Amino acid sequence: MAAADPIRNKKQLRQMLDYCLSRGQVRDYALIVLGVHTALRISDLLCLRWSDVYNFELGVFRTHLAVTEKKTRKRKMIALNKHALQALRLYFPQRRGSYIFQSNRHTAAAISRTQAYRIIRAAARAAGITEQISCHSLRKTFGYHAWKSGVSAVLLMDIYNHSNYNVTRRYLGVTQDDLDLAYLEINFM
């Protein structure tokens, strides 16, 4: 299996989201938005239920998402930013079950990893993305853009539960162009 790439071009990411909305696929839009804004693995993302993000007693969306990661068994608190909340609010009136990413075929199940892959790949193709895109690309996209905007590699290592910087560096898809830019843009004078 080939390694997944992050979605480096923000315009193409926006085109993916526009593709979903133009086809009336609000669930798929929410999947991509939550994927890139929470950095969750697809296995954790697909298990999310509405009660994880919405307090039905108070009638409000939660500010944080509490998740126990399947792979690491570590408990994690993730702040839901305005983009994630906007996508959830848009999709909330269309909910059909307890899972956020409810299957259209099975009333008591979330979509499968395979279906999530198909959704992400179709949106990426529609946006003209030629890199290797998979479900994991959403998680990597979070890190790549966080790193490009100045988030410390140490914080990203913690978010991803990586044991060393080299794993995180590979994960972020740091290219020679990124390294060149660091040399060319530095100014001490």
Structure-token pair, residue 136: 């994991």
| CA-CA-CA-CA dihedral for 114, 115, 117, 121, to nearest 10 | 140
Least Cα distance to 6 among 146, 126, 179 occurs for: 146
Give CA angle at 15 (14, 21), nearest 5°: 90
Active site residues: 41, 71, 136, 139, 162, 171
| CA-CA-CA-CA dihedral for 10, 62, 95, 30, to nearest 10 | 10
Secondary structure letter of residue 65 according to DSSP = E
Contact (CB, 8 A) for 54 and 85 = no
